Chain A
Amino acid sequence: NAGVMQNPRHLVRRRGQEARLRCSPMKGHSHVYWYRQLPEEGLKFMVYLQKENIIDESGMPKERFSAEFPKEGPSILRIQQVVRGDSAAYFCASSPTRTGGTEAFFGQGTRLTVV
């Protein structure tokens, strides 16, 4: 759904660099979810945030990965010291409520390639 905006669409980083992925939720949505899609896999939940709060980060690797959703501005997924295994598509979804309702729209994703 065009309402959830992710940028950049494609990101190339060398091993050891930092990657910052941005997600602007649909208007009026204060709940953001990040998912990762490894090659030839389905999406896997990483983290759920509300404005200024991390609600559930159970799917996020414990090291090098962090996420935030500040009061103003987009949600950021940050990967420090990237490695080849971080190469994946990262998707963001948003919702007006915790459960997301009967529809769940994703942004277009950011494809991270680590070289």
Chain B
Amino acid sequence: AQKITQTQPGMFVQEKEAVTLDCTYDTSDPSYGLFWYKQPSSGEMIFLIYQGSYDQQNATEGRYSLNFQKARKSANLVISASQLGDSAMYFCAMREGHGGSNYKLTFGKGTLLTVNP
């Protein structure tokens, strides 16, 4: 079974509007962390935001927020007030907290976001 599922291969949004990128995850570990990365066309992986499984509040970083619904095992990324520079590939990733391999990140296949002017 896929540990990280991103069901939207591509998304379009108008500049200045908000957009939600979906991510669901699968783990039986009670301790885990969820990450979102942005990969622009230049190729680097840019860390955006982190949510821990025990965090009571949804994580926020500027225009990025993470809609964490633990019971549904979803960790959707919300980008508010989209900008043209937000056009990129976005990856959701998980690190499971316990066990011998708690350093590994498992990535989804990504969502290509295009912001239209």
Chain A positions within 8 Å of B, measured between CB atoms, are 1, 31, 33, 35, 40-45, 48, 56, 58, 89, 91, 93, 95, 98-100, 102-109, 111
Contacts and interface: CB of A to CB of B under 8 A. Distances in A.
15 contacts: A1-B47, A35-B105, A45-B105, A56-B103, A91-B45, A99-B97, A99-B102, A104-B93, A104-B95, A105-B47, A106-B45, A106-B47, A108-B43, A109-B45, A111-B43
Contact of A41 (B45, B102, B104, B109): B109
A43 B91 contact: yes
A33 B103 CA distance: 9
A106 B37 CA distance: 10
B103 A48 contact: yes
Contact of B35 (A98, A104, A107, A108): A104
Contact of A43 (B47, B97, B100, B105): B105
A99 B103 contact: yes
Nearest to A89: B43
Interface residues of B, number: 25
Closest 9 CB pairs of A and B: A42-B107, A106-B45, A108-B44, A102-B50, A43-B107, A45-B104, A42-B109, A42-B91, A42-B108
A103 B110 CA distance: 19
Contact of B52 (A33, A41, A98, A102): A102
Nearest to A97: B103
A57 B49 CA distance: 27
Interface string B79-117: 000000000000101010100111111111110000000
Contacts of B103: 31, 33, 48, 56, 95, 98-100
Nearest to A108: B44
Contacts of B97: 99
A104 B91 contact: no
Nearest to B110: A42
A31 B102 CA distance: 13
Nearest to B42: A108
B93 to A, nearest CB: 7
A58 to B, nearest CB: 8
Nearest to B107: A42
